[in-house]
Amino acid sequence: MPSPSPTSSPSITSQRQSPNVLTYSLDNKMVYVTPAEDYEQALDFAYSVFPTELHSIPRSRVYFSVNIVVRGSPRTSRISPMAWSAVIMTLKQYEIVLVSVLPPEHTNTDAMNNSYANIDSIPPPTYSPSSSRHILPSDNKHHDSSLLYPIKSSETRSRSSSPSSTSAHKKSGPLAWIDKMF
């Protein structure tokens, strides 16, 4: 009997087959399902095996994910509709597919329109008489101007006295005032 030639033997790296059974998990409940061909069918299967949990949830809020390990850390990765078939091909038999529900959206257009519908019925805020008056430095004799104008540490030194009019620093011209500052 002739031995099989290397070209006729099955390849060691044969194509990976999709699993025959997966496990859908929702709220600590697990159910075996056959793999769906696409994302929409996966949603159908989820609603079929979790009828009580998903009966009032819109399909747009239900999503699937798998647990993965990235650089030694466990993570959850969501499966997008366009990646469904490719991801399912990589899963092992009985692997868990998490079924989750997104929280209701608070920023959709309808909700925003409804929240602005009654804006005219909301009264303006009220203030106590003391808080409605603006206090300016001239209004308060005990006002601390350092709160309005912070002083740099270099400005905390005492200033030298101004030069007298008989000083040798007397200059004329448009920049004479600069010399008077120092």
Percentage helix, strand, coil for the chain under 3-state DSSP, each rounded to 5: 30, 20, 50
Q: Which residues are CB-contacts of 53 (< 8 A; sequence separation ≥ 6)?
A: 26, 27, 29
The confidence band for 176, taking pLDDT boundaries of 50, 70 and 90, is: low
Number of Cβ within a 10 Å radius of residue 24: 21
Structure token pair of residue 36: 């769906």
Looking at every residue in the chain, the average pLDDT score rounds to 74
97: exposed, middle or buried (Cβ count in 10 Å: 0-12, 13-18, 19+): buried
75, 67 contact by CB (below 8 A): yes
In this prediction, residues 83-97 reach a mean pLDDT of 95
Q: Is the pLDDT of residue 21 over 70?
A: yes
Q: What pLDDT sits at residue 111? A: 46
In this prediction, residues 109-114 reach a mean pLDDT of 48
The confidence band for 12, taking pLDDT boundaries of 50, 70 and 90, is: very low
**Domain architecture of the chain: domains with CATH:** 22-101 (3.10.20.90)
The predicted model scores a pTM of: 0.51
